[in-house]
Amino acid sequence: MLRAALGSARVLLLPRRGGSGAQRGLRWRQPQQRRAVSEAAAHPGAVAPPVPGPAAERLVGRWLLVCSGAVAGAVVLGGVTRLTESGLSMVDWHLVREMKPPQTQQEWETEFQKYQQFPEFKILNHDMTLREFKFIWYMEYSHRMWGRVVGLAYVLPAVYFWRKGWLSHPMKGRVLALCGLVCFQGLLGWYMVKSGLEEKPDSHDIPRVSQYRLAAHLGSALVLYCASLWSGLSLLLPQHKLPETYQLLRLRRFAHGTTGLIFLTALSGAFVAGLDAGLVYNSFPKMGERWIPDDLLSFSPVLKNIFENPTTVQFNHRILGITSVTAITALYLLSRKIPLPRRTKIAVASLMAVAYMQVGLGISTLLLYVPTPLAATHQSGSLALLTVALWLMNELRRVPK
């Protein structure tokens, strides 16, 4: 049994190219493959579980990257839907039935009449024509259909790879979590939309979805995106065998903290969008004529300002953005003092470039009163910045012993 188990794992050992004498040896391709052989040696009577080969791992990695790209597309499309105020045009939710759009004039009239019963039409769009309604309806419809495509992109290949035995034991748990998060994301999206369809007699504000639910919807999408991207990169990019020096450890920790800061800044953008806080103070670097506006803490209790006061929400987003680009600049300067592989240096330089581009987009969006194309580009830029930060983290990850 032991001989059979070790023989099945022999393909996992590859000779190093080049070198001579002490430099010649054997290296393991993946940590889970090393664990599989060690378990087989420790339990001679047990049958070793199948270990995915390199080709299978590359295929799974590419699939996860495609899935992360699909999630990114959903986030961008959702941002455009929000910017065009189209998110409340579909007033009910059906998993299958709503996949077919209205075909006849009568069906469109019926759909429009349903929309007219809700606050957005009564307060904001009471003079909307059927033609204008079709535009916002198709925007929301596209977002919902893309969400279904994302769900199928996760679930169907996951079932196939599972049956083929191409998923390692740790990857199975990760894939199950990703598929579960996709389903949760769809339900959370409808829960968010419902908040904008409710009648609020005591409110004099325009109908909009809850900024809390919007942030939860965006946050779960970002978690799904980050987890998929990280898993795909981990399978496709070979790890660098970097010397574990104090400088490298400090750079790795700084990169992790900076990525968390970028994530938090992107998440704070959901509150900016949910409260239309980008239209409050359209000046930079000051907010109006002051560095700290008078109405920064005008709500009571004070903590309510952080999530419900448009002035405070915009102020916080500015501070987080400035802090993020400062941290990225410090990370770049710190990396210059450490000998790093060429690919890692490219990741650091790319992070720096995308960060300053994103700052420029954010300031331009603010000064020009949030035009839809520029605002959508700014929202996409946050995803690009988070992507490069995750790439850098992946480059600096520790090689398992």
Task: Report the C-alpha gap between 215 and 213 in whole angstroms.
Answer: 5
Regarding whether 366 and 320 lie in a shared domain, the answer is yes
Task: Say if residue 27 is exposed, middle or buried (CB neighbours under 10 Å; 0-12, 13-18, 19+).
Answer: exposed
Regarding whether 89 and 231 lie in a shared domain, the answer is yes
Q: Residue 352 sits in which domain range?
A: 238-400
59 token code pair: 């295929």
Domain presence at residue 10: no
Neighbours of 45 (CB within 10 A): 7
Question: Measured in Å, how far apart are the chain's first and last C-alpha atoms?
Answer: 26
Regarding whether 191 and 267 lie in a shared domain, the answer is no
Q: Do residues 188 and 216 lie in contact, with contact meaning Cβ atoms separated by under 8 Å?
A: yes
Regarding whether 168 and 71 lie in a shared domain, the answer is yes
Shortest CA distance to 157 belongs to which of 92, 94, 66? 66
- Residue 11, pLDDT score: 38
Domain presence at residue 381: yes
Regarding whether 155 and 74 lie in a shared domain, the answer is yes
Task: Report the C-alpha gap between 298 and 283 in whole angstroms.
Answer: 20
Q: Do residues 358 and 382 lie in contact, with contact meaning Cβ atoms separated by under 8 Å?
A: yes
The tally of domains found in the chain comes to 2
Regarding whether 208 and 63 lie in a shared domain, the answer is yes
- Residue 214, pLDDT score: 96
Regarding whether 310 and 176 lie in a shared domain, the answer is no
User: Where are the alpha helices (H) located in 237-309, listed in sequence order?
Assistant: 246-274, 304-308
Q: Do residues 61 and 236 lie in contact, with contact meaning Cβ atoms separated by under 8 Å?
A: yes
- Residue 35, pLDDT score: 52
Last residue of one domain, picked from the residues 236, 258, 275: 236
- Residue 50, pLDDT score: 59
Regarding whether 396 and 283 lie in a shared domain, the answer is yes
Task: Report the C-alpha gap between 115 and 140 in whole angstroms.
Answer: 13
Regarding whether 364 and 257 lie in a shared domain, the answer is yes
Last residue of one domain, picked from the residues 179, 201, 236: 236
Task: Say if residue 391 is exposed, middle or buried (CB neighbours under 10 Å; 0-12, 13-18, 19+).
Answer: buried
Domain presence at residue 27: no
Task: Report the C-alpha gap between 19 and 108 in whole angstroms.
Answer: 72
Domain presence at residue 35: no
Regarding whether 190 and 76 lie in a shared domain, the answer is yes
Give the angle 146-149-153 at the CA atoms, nearest 5°: 140
Regarding whether 208 and 127 lie in a shared domain, the answer is yes
What SS3 state is found at 162?
helix
Regarding whether 224 and 120 lie in a shared domain, the answer is yes
- Residue 33, pLDDT score: 52
- Residue 44, pLDDT score: 52
| pLDDT beneath 70: ranges in the chain | 1-51, 202-204, 399-401
Domain presence at residue 326: yes
- DSSP β-ladder status, 26-28 and 13-15: antiparallel
Domain presence at residue 9: no
Last residue of one domain, picked from the residues 179, 205, 236: 236
Shortest CA distance to 353 belongs to which of 371, 331, 323, 338? 331
**What would the pLDDT profile of 150-173 be if each residue is shown by its tens digit?**
999 999 999 999 999 999 999 999
Neighbours of 336 (CB within 10 A): 9
Domain presence at residue 33: no
Domain presence at residue 110: yes
211 token code pair: 């900024």
Task: Say if residue 364 is exposed, middle or buried (CB neighbours under 10 Å; 0-12, 13-18, 19+).
Answer: middle
- Residue 99, pLDDT score: 85
